[in-house]
Homo-oligomer: A and B are copies of this chain.
Amino acid sequence: MIKKDIEYMRLALNEAIKGEGRVNPNPLVGAVVVKNDKIISTGYHEKYGEAHAERNALNKIGELAEGATLYVTLEPCSHTGKTPPCVDKIIESKIKRCVVATLDSNPLVSGKGIKKLKDAGIEVQVGILEKEALEINSVFFKYVEEKLPFIFLKCGITLDGKIATKDFSSKWITNSLAREKVQMYRNKFMGIMLGKNSVLHDNPTLDCRMEGGRNPVRIIIDSKLDIPYEYKVISNNEDEKTIIVTSKQMVETQKYSILKEKYKIKFITLPENEFQLKDIFKQVGKLGIDSILVEGGSSVISQLFRDNLIDAGEIFIAPKILGDSTSIPFVDGFSRSLISEAIELKNVKYNIYGDNIGLEFKK
Contacts and interface: CB of A to CB of B under 8 A. Distances in A.
Contacts of A169: 337-340
A307 interface: no
A204 to B, nearest CB: 16
Contacts of A277: none
Contacts of A173: 339
Nearest to A320: B342
Contacts of A319: 344-345, 348, 359, 361
A323 B324 CA distance: 15
Contacts of A302: 323
Secondary structure class of chain A's binding surface, majority of residues: loop
Interface in A321-363: 321-327, 329-345, 348, 350, 352, 355, 357, 359, 361
B323 A343 contact: yes
Interface string A296-328: 000000100100000000010101111111110
A158 B340 CA distance: 11
Number of copies: 2
Most B-side CB within 10 Å, residue of A169, A323, A331: A323
Contacts of A341: 165
Given A159-B161, A160-B329, A357-B357, A324 B334 contact: yes
Contact of A335 (B171, B324, B332, B337): B324
A179 interface: no
Interface in A196-232: none
Contacts of A350: 350, 352, 357
A166 interface: yes
A331 B342 contact: no
Contacts of A323: 302, 305, 329, 331-334, 336, 343
B315 A336 contact: no
A235 interface: no
Given A159-B161, A339-B170, A345 B357 contact: no
A345 B329 contact: no
Nearest to A345: B319
A326 B325 CA distance: 10
22 contacts: A157-B159, A159-B345, A160-B329, A160-B331, A161-B321, A164-B339, A165-B337, A166-B336, A166-B337, A302-B323, A322-B336, A322-B342, A322-B343, A323-B331, A323-B332, A323-B333, A323-B336, A323-B343, A325-B325, A325-B329, A327-B336, A350-B352
Given A160-B160, A165-B336, A357-B359, 6 more contacts: A161-B321, A166-B336, A169-B337, A320-B339, A321-B331, A321-B342
Interface of A: 157-162, 164-167, 169-173, 302, 305, 315, 317, 319-327, 329-345, 348, 350, 352, 355, 357, 359, 361
